[in-house]
Copies of this chain bind each other. A is one copy, B any other.
């Protein structure tokens, strides 16, 4: 989409405030006051039909009467006249509008919102909002909002779906001493959404990290695509992770989906780092905005307090970057700057005797030596050291090392002096915090970023045009039959078309056909009723397994038919499926549901108790790349099962990964047709021996 409108809106050279007011307390007054007070250098045109001047600025009755060009308009007029005003802006050539006004889709008036967007599109104008606080930019000194002040400056920019949080966080930048470059309230996202802003931020030199507070995404798929291409770290705090869980889902797979798991998977796929809470968003965002990614697994914790060091070590394990012992040569060097009873192992405990010089030497060596990928420096305030001097030593060590591609984070536990030192370090580009846990968590964010960057390189599955065409024919036939689900035979056909091996199956309409099919497939076989009216086949006595002879086949055929008729007299019976009885294998399941934000998703897990009792399943948004499929297979708790337990040979992991990718292609290609589907169970054999989809189910979308 066109970025011009967003550029004009976020970096305007001139701005009109439509619905400007001379009455203090009114938003139309506050915006003008904020623009002036915070030093906006562009032209400001208040638009008001009654006033001739507001806060010393000349007023215009209509935007059309403003002499010069106008880049952006801040809208403070009531919702009911918004369409009209947007029309006027469009005619004037305004390319971006910040619609502060509320009273649109958030109270059920989506019609008003749609009208505004329709008009804006006509004029090639972009809309931020409606229902926003506005936007703030430190580099532009632009406070086009009713938030009280520009935030403390920083290199991190925030886009938030909660206006109240923007205002509160804006003020909190001063009390937390964690700055932001821009703060953008995104409101109802009638036009400009997260993806648009992420794209725009790619070229914003003032921003080195994009922080997001997300309640819900409309076009999750575009979000993933855009975020994946980002050359800057993106961190997201997703709220409402407990809400989706309540949504009742019809199918088995559906009941396990839950928005939170899908969002988490989508963020991973998009290369977006997650924040766990508001504090975490502040801390991690700050760190990502000022430090390089942590490119390997080795890091040193340097401390002057043993207790603190142990707490940080625990935290490292908790946050996924477990500590290792430093190699001997590193230990030997460390030993030079500590008393006899210190420890050079990692955490490096210089003891309470550590002063400025030891901190300087140790930190510098830690950064410069080959083994280390990053450094976490801890300091417990003591009576014999000065926090300001320790901070200066750390900074000097970093500078003198000359190393730019290894990150550092710091924790100072102490009083006012330590607090000041923390502030000083942050001002000087070193993320510093109170608790050791926070410093480690911040480092973990840099490690996550590096790992996510690696994963983003893997390509997604490709559309299989031929399979798609044939699958659509199978689906069309079922629809022609007035059905919204495929029979097992049809479903397996679709799976086969996408190259997934299924157990052999055929439909018998007579006893003789059943005998013939049984012979062709080969005993032992399984027979199952095929009827769109009988979904729970076993309950209806519609399944017989381990049929070994022709006599048994004949008996099974007749018994199943009789049972089915007894179960539901008027059932539409297609016949009886005669199916290969596959040898036993490890049961895994694949499933798919359509997420309201992200569209089709793939679920993978082990069968049986793993899925039923432990809900041990993992999700990805389609299409799933090879790297993602590999991750899925590795990240379930029951993963060791697939490596072979109790003397079993390892299962065919490669076949599983290939099948996930093929299944993902199927789901992706047919997303307009398939509402949900599963392969349950899929029987997986020993390495090299493949797998077999033993049962398949496809439910169609209602059309």
Binding site for B on A (CB under 8 A): 25, 30, 106-107, 146-148, 160-165, 167-176, 213, 215, 237, 239-243, 276-279, 304-308, 310-311, 313-317, 322, 341, 352, 380-384, 413-419, 434-438, 609, 612-614, 637-638, 640-641, 645-646
Give 7 closest A-B pairs by Cβ, nearest first.
A162-B307, A171-B415, A164-B305, A168-B380, A168-B413, A277-B437, A242-B317
Chain B residues with CB below 8 A from A637, complex form: 613-614
* Minimal Cβ-Cβ distance residue in B for A146: B383
Contacts of A614 in B (CB 8 A): 614, 637-638
Q: Is the CB of A313 within 8 A of B242?
A: yes
Assuming A164-B352, A382-B167, is B645 touching A310 (CB within 8 A)? no
**Do A308 and B164 form a contact, CB below 8 Å, given A241-B314, A277-B315?**
yes
**Cβ of A646: which chain B residues have Cβ within 8 Å of it?**
612
CB–CB B169/A413 < 8 A: yes
A242 touches B314 (CB 8 A): yes
**Contact indicator A438/B165 (Cβ below 8 Å):** no
Bound form: Cα–Cα A215–B313 in Å: 13
Bound-state Cα–Cα, A410 to B390, Å:
35
B residues in contact with A314, CB < 8 Å: 239-242
A276 neighbours in B (Cβ, 8 Å) = 437
User: In the bound complex, what is the Cα–Cα distance between A167 and B414 (angstroms)?
Assistant: 8
Residue from the set A243, A384, A415, A419 with the largest chain B CB neighbour count within 10 Å:
A415
* Contact A165–B435 (Cβ < 8 Å): no
Q: A488 to B278, alpha carbons, bound, how many Å?
A: 57
Q: Given the interface contacts A341-B107, A434-B279, does A307 sit within 8 Å of B239 by beta carbon?
A: yes
Residue of B25, B279, B313 near A437 (CB, 8 A) is B279
12 contacts between A and B (CB under 8 A): A25-B384, A106-B341, A160-B307, A164-B307, A167-B383, A169-B413, A175-B434, A239-B311, A279-B434, A279-B438, A614-B614, A614-B637
CB atoms of B106 and A277 under 8 A apart: no
Complex: how many Å from CA A414 to CA B170? 7
Which single residue of chain B is at the shortest CB-CB distance from A646?
B612
What chain B residues lie within 8 Å of A242 (beta carbons)? Answer: 313-314, 316-317, 322
Q: Cβ of A645 and Cβ of B413 under 8 Å apart? A: no
Which of B305, B418, B640 touches A162 (beta carbons < 8 Å)? B305
Chain B hits for A148, CB < 8 A: 383
Closest chain B residue to A437, Cβ basis: B277
Contacts of A165 in B (CB 8 A): 305, 307-308, 380, 413
Task: Decide: A279 near B435, CB < 8 A? Known: A171-B414, A306-B164.
Answer: yes
Given the complex, which residues of B lie within 8 Å of A308, measured CB to CB?
162, 164-165, 168
Distance in angstroms between the alpha carbons of A240 and B316 in the assembled complex: 11
> Given contacts A167-B382, A352-B164, is CB(A278)–CB(B413) below 8 Å?
yes
* In the bound complex, CA of A638 to CA of B609 (Å): 8
Cβ B167 vs Cβ A381 within 8 A: yes
Q: Which residues of B contact A106 (CB under 8 A)?
A: 341
Q: Is the CB of A172 within 8 A of B413?
A: yes
Pairwise interchain contact B279-A609, C-beta atoms closer than 8 A: no
Could you tell me the distance in whole angstroms from the C-beta of A120 to the nearest C-beta in chain B?
25
A645 to B615, CA, bound (A): 13
Determine which of B161, B164, B170, B413 lies in contact with A304 in the assembled complex, contact meaning CB atoms within 8 Å.
B164
CA distance A146 to B243 in the complex (A): 51
Bound Cα distance from A220 to B191, whole angstroms: 62
In the complex, chain B residues whose CB is within 8 Å of the CB of A311: 237, 239, 277-278
Considering the complex, give the chain B residue whose CB is closest to the CB of A102.
B341
Report B-chain residues with C-beta under 8 Å of the C-beta of A638. 609, 613-614
Q: Which residues of B contact A171 (CB under 8 A)?
A: 381, 414-418
Query: Hey, which chain B residues are within 8 Å of A167, CB to CB?
Result: 380-383
**Using Cβ atoms and an 8 Å threshold, which residues of chain B touch A173?**
415
> 4 new A-B pairs (CB below 8 Å) besides A30-B383, A240-B310?
A165-B307, A168-B418, A172-B414, A176-B434
Q: A436 — nearest CB in chain B belongs to which residue?
A: B278
